[in-house]
Amino acid sequence: MSGTGEPIDERIAAMEREATRVAEHTVRLERKSTALVQLAVACRRLHGTVAREALLSALQDIVCNLVGCEQLAVFETSADGRSLQLVSALDVDRARWASVPLDAEPVGRCARTGTAWYAGAASASGLTACVPLCIDGHVVGVIALFRLLPQKAGLEPGDHELLGVVAAQAATA
């Protein structure tokens, strides 16, 4: 028995539980730190160019590498404001997605409402997520994510946060 009156094996078990809690907390902090570094790199890359094609390429790379998406499209609002026009695509049927009316679900709704949309599982259209590109509350485009990498079961809350920040930065860039 120890001086505290509790058996040594109970103290050891309590210390092991505390060590496990501290280790889990450390892992969570490391993940958050990694996410912040990735976000800083993404923002720097988006604002590091003024060339449209380089910006679109950077946006694709960021979504592919940081979110884990292998199929995506970037749309911008048409001049008349009635549809979205495809401006960049990675492994997406360009003919099918060349123009999307604003009444089309869920891409058009994302543009109409300025609200991101996330599928619980792949939708009938194959979409995983739609994230609006907004400047001062005005939607100027949409990023549509289709197929994720095979090892990625779905988007996580951290992915939602990253996409929101990247979309805001991409819109202003």
pLDDT by residue (tens digit) across 45-103? 666 666 778 888 888 888 888 888 999 999 999 999 899 999 999 999 999 999 999 98
Cis upstream peptide for 106 (omega within 30°) = yes
pLDDT by residue (tens digit) across 97-150? 999 999 888 999 999 999 999 987 555 668 899 999 988 888 999 999 998 888
- The closest alpha carbon to 97, from 83, 82, 111, 86, belongs to 86
Contact 105, 112 (CB under 8 A): no
Q: Tell me the pTM.
A: 0.73
